[in-house]
């Protein structure tokens, strides 16, 4: 084989090795562009336009898409329904996030205890509600909340106790929060439990030699060492809370206490598919996405600075 042929083959082999990672990444990049980047770009483009109606809006050319600039964003930021829906979601999150993460941490600590029994079954039982789709879970709990078919109302009636309306007023927040906690505690528990299992056993043995009780080990060693996992689950919970949609939308036909704009995402859906104004809906969606990003970034910076400050001590 000539020297020139060896050089050509060697260059081809090197080129093939260097280009292999890009070939593996290509499907992911194409899917990301088609189903993530492109929809976001189209939503941004729609949010900067509006439909201008000429006359009665009948006939060809009576409705024309024109440039709106930041008009849709100004309308979204001054929309009172969006503000009220945001306050509802914040109140909903104030109930869901502490209870869900508290239960997830408690379950993880109990399962990580040496005296725990049937760990595999317990993990599966706690995680199983997360595997149930949100719409199915909302329907399940919705019929349990209905006075006419709820076994809880039947028992309260037989016992002569008051029967609260769980689908209206203040109890509605607790009812929606219960669905989210029931479905999300298992996922967060798995994240925290995995972090607990990665802690070296020597740390626990040293603490026992120093006379630490199981409660002291849990509060002073386990919880601080899984703080990054707690921060991660907190971020996930905040984002999921701001994006709540399926639970109130599914329960809405069962009660008059849930308006079509109960949450910000329900407002986006109502504007786009009920009101037919996809331009205003796109602007509202972009505002919500930007607010979620800013809030997540701010919380991440705060948590990172605190973790760095603790580590420097």
Q: In the chain, what are the domain boundaries?
A: 3-67, 79-276
The percent of residues above 90 in pLDDT, for the chain, comes to 54
Opening angle at CA 269, ends 184 and 278, nearest 5: 140
Q: Is 175 exposed, middle or buried (0-12, 13-18, 19+ CB in 10 A)?
A: buried
Average pLDDT, the chain: 87
On whether the 79-276 domain is CATH 1.10.3720.10, my answer is yes
Number of H helices, E strands in the chain: 15, 2
Name the residue among 295, 281, 248 with its Cα closest to residue 88. 248
Q: How confident is the model at residue 11 (pLDDT cuts 50, 70, 90)?
A: low
- Asked if residue 305 has pLDDT above 80, the reply is no
3-state helix, strand, coil in the chain (%, to 5): 75, 5, 20
The highest-confidence range among 92-101, 108-117, 164-173, 298-307, by mean pLDDT, is 92-101
Chain centroid to Cα 151, Å, comes to 31
CA dist 169 and 146 (Å) reads 14
Q: Work out the average pLDDT over 156-184.
A: 89
Q: How confident is the model at residue 3 (pLDDT cuts 50, 70, 90)?
A: low
Q: Work out the average pLDDT over 121-126.
A: 92
- The pTM (predicted TM-score) of the whole model is 0.85
Name the residue among 168, 171, 175 with its Cα closest to residue 259. 168
């Amino acid at each position: 084989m000539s020297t020139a042929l060896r050089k050509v083959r060697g260059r081809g082999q090197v080129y093939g090795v260097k280009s292999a990672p890009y070939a593996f990444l290509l499907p992911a990049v194409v899917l990301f562009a088609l189903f993530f980047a492109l929809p976001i770009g189209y939503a941004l483009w729609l949010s900067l336009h509006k439909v201008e109606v000429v006359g009665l809006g009948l006939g060809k050319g009576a409705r024309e898409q024109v440039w709106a600039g930041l008009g849709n964003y100004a309308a979204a930021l001054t929309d009172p329904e969006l503000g009220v829906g945001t306050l509802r979601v914040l109140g909903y999150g104030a109930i869901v996030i502490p209870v869900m993460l508290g239960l997830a941490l408690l379950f993880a600590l109990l399962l990580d205890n040496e005296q725990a029994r049937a760990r595999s079954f317990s993990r599966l039982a706690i995680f199983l509600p997360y595997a149930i789709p949100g719409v199915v879970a909302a329907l399940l709990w919705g019929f349990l909340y209905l006075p006419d078919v709820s076994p809880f109302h039947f028992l309260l009636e037989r016992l002569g106790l008051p029967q609260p309306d769980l689908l209206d007023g203040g109890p509605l927040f607790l009812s929606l929060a219960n669905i989210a906690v029931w479905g999300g505690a298992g996922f967060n528990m798995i994240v925290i439990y995995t972090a607990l299992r990665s802690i070296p056993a020597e740390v626990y043995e040293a603490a026992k030699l120093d006379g630490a009780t199981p409660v002291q080990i849990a509060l002073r060693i386990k919880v601080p060492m899984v703080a990054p996992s707690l921060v991660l689950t907190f971020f996930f919970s905040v984002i999921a809370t701001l994006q709540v949609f399926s639970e109130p939308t599914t329960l809405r036909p069962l009660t008059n206490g849930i308006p079509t704009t109960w949450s910000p995402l329900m407002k986006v859906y109502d504007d786009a598919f009920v009101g037919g104004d996809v331009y205003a809906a796109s602007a509202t969606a972009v505002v919500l996405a930007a607010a979620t990003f800013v809030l997540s970034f701010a919380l991440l910076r705060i948590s990172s600075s605190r973790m760095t400050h603790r580590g420097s001590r």
